[in-house]
Amino acid sequence: QEKKIFTVQGPYPVIRRLLRARGWVERKLPGAGSWPERRQPRCSPWPPDKEEEEQEEEEERWDEDPDGIHDLMSRLVRDQVPYFIWTNRCDAVDRRLLRQDQLVNHYARGGAFTTKDGLCLNLRNLPWFDQADPDTFFPRCYRLGAVDDRQAFIEDFCLTAARSLLKVALERAGDTPVGMEQPPKSSEGPGESHVPHPMPSTAGPGTPLSPQLVEEALQVCGQHLGSLGHQDIDGDPQSPATTGIDRDHFLQDYYRVVHEKARLVLSRAQQERCRALLRCLAERLPQLGMEGNHNIWILKPGAKSRGRGIVCVARLEEVLRLAGGCMAPLARAGKWVVQKYVERPLLIFGTKFDIRQWFLVTDWNPLTVWFYRESYLRFCSQPFSLHRLDPARHLCNVSIQKQCRPARGQHPQLPPDQIWSCQQLQAYLAQVGRTGAWDQVMVPGMKVAVVGALRSAQDQVGSRKSSFELYGADFVFGEDCQPWLLEINASPTMAPSSAVTSRLCASVQRDMLHVVIDRRDNPACPTGAFELIYKE
């Protein structure tokens, strides 16, 4: 009569325990006992929810019932309707058979923003729904399986190479390009430099390259700046700025300068033009600073999770080869996406990290978003380097890092389990003179990114009353502490991999139930660390 019957698929001991404490009884799925049920064949066109496999692989025994009481009660309600349904895959429930009063933890068609290609595609539409500019929080991204996107990426790679060449030319001349300034000394941690590999101020070895190379880079950047002045909300493609040069020859010379330290001769007049042009581009390109000058891109298979198949690449031909080959049928590129790598991340003791930030959607019409005030950091196991692109230095996924050996001589203040809480990050920021960065820059930026991503996909997600969903967004921060959204995960793992995640994963599940269950009877009840940040 109280409709307190629930069904949980998969290993979620915290949710089971909290619901039972509220007087709910579990109706177990057929075949469910002390171990997770077997994985069912998939019928959804979307790839598996981001971390469902990690959830099942990393969590162990989930339903301790030594006296068999829960099994007995489950049998007593086996013919009753469950009013709270929690699954680890959105296609585990036939939505056509649901009653209006059944609470379910997924929305249909969430892949519009929880897949890499879906997020890449839909964020481009954000200017139609919001004044936010996705280029201020989402690194440039292209779907290599789409003809127009592939060509746009090739053009972008060449434009980035031209800008990088101007930056390198100025740095080697002893000048600092606009947008490339370093944070003040007080922001640096002990023994840490925020420039992982500063360029030498002197010219490189060997025969200097022709001054024409800098002229070509100036020409390309000038044409691009002119085209930026004519862009509108429709995003109509501009005429390529690199049509007047031999792309292959230009890129080979660029590689020699940046990667092989070939000498570059820069006249005083060219130096002034470089500085002025980069200053103008900095006003139009929000990513000019974070993109660095190595032109590194990160290649991601759209249908895999936990960092599998992701590689960092610094040469155009290598990207195209890995994604199916430049002349191969586009079908071979499949769901691959390529995204600009954040070359100037905020480092802690010389090591890269990212942050897992939870948020909860309780309605899509009107869109209602709750942001969790606690989060956790995931560290790489090796020091950051732009000259070595191995996963141990660049991919913060727990599944990747647990396969890597920790660095010899690792800084003693880095956590052995490679996990920090956001409170530990705030303490570190205070130590290095950035006390207000978390509350004034990082958190507000993450909120803008989350709401922007949801609004851009809102008309594609299946809106259903009595549904909700918990998501996990992954961010990396630039040297200026600005957050950059990497991806959004459905079914974020609740498998504790450390003392920090053991505490936080339990607390986010507890507070989620406050929002989705307790508030239905008492709208004034506490919601824990969940903060309502957007209601349309």
- Separation of alpha carbons 133 and 515, rounded Å: 30
In a domain, 257, yes or no: yes
Rounded to 5 degrees, φ, ψ at 448 are: -60, -45
Could you read off the pLDDT of 54-67 as tens digits, one per residue?
A: 444 444 445 567 67
In a domain, 203, yes or no: no
In a domain, 442, yes or no: yes
Mean pLDDT of the chain, nearest integer: 85
Contacts of 246 (CB under 8 A, 6+ apart): none
- Separation of alpha carbons 333 and 117, rounded Å: 12
- Separation of alpha carbons 297 and 162, rounded Å: 15
**Edge-to-edge order in the sheet of strand 337-340:** 141-143, 337-340, 297-300, 311-313
Let me know: does 177 contact 267? Beta carbons within 8 Å: no
Run of H or E residues at 408: none
In a domain, 184, yes or no: no
Total domains present in the chain? 3
pLDDT at 32: 52
Contacts of 443 (CB under 8 A, 6+ apart): none
Could you read off the pLDDT of 92-122 as tens digits, one per residue?
A: 888 889 999 999 999 999 999 999 999 999 9
Nearest Cα neighbor of 298 from 220, 396, 155, 217 is 396
Q: Do residue 392 and residue 531 come from a single domain?
A: yes
Could you read off the pLDDT of 442-492 as tens digits, one per residue?
A: 999 999 999 999 999 999 999 999 999 999 999 999 999 999 999 999 999
Q: Do residue 93 and residue 219 come from a single domain?
A: no
* Domain coverage including residue 81: 5-30+47-103
Q: Do residue 93 and residue 122 come from a single domain?
A: no
Q: Do residue 404 and residue 483 come from a single domain?
A: yes
Task: Name residue 430's amino acid.
Answer: A
pLDDT at 63: 56
